[in-house]
């Protein structure tokens, strides 16, 4: 095993801890903390999918990661506008 592969596995382990922290943040009582937790969770999952694509050469995981990266902030902005009351 080379050092690059070992560092990718270490990054996957640290992202697993970040996923747990994001789930804990998402279960707070306020809506804003829930949005922050879900956005952090989607970023962590997208990064994990890119790592899986690099290590195991699974092509469709990269496409799913790109969709998560694009649609996560767009959904968060749309939901924030709805909560604020600005429909259009």
Range of the domain at 33: 3-84
Q: pLDDT tens-digit profile of 57-68?
A: 888 898 999 998
Global pTM value: 0.76
Transcribe 4-73 into DSSP letters.
Answer: HHHHHHHHHHHHHHHHHHHHHHHTSSSHHHHHHHHHHHHHHHHHHHHHHHHHH--THHHHHHHHHHHHHH
Tell me the per-residue pLDDT of 12-29, one tens digit each, with 9 for 90 and over. Answer: 889 889 989 988 988 887
């Amino acid at each position: 095993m080379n050092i690059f592969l070992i560092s990718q596995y270490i990054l996957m382990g640290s992202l697993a801890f970040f996923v747990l922290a994001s789930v804990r943040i998402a279960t707070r009582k306020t809506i804003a903390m829930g949005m922050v937790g879900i956005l952090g969770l989607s970023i962590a999952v997208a990064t994990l999918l890119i790592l899986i694509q690099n290590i195991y050469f699974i092509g469709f995981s990269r496409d799913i990661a790109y969709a998560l990266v694009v649609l996560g902030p767009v959904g968060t902005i749309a939901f924030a506008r709805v909560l604020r009351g600005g429909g259009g």
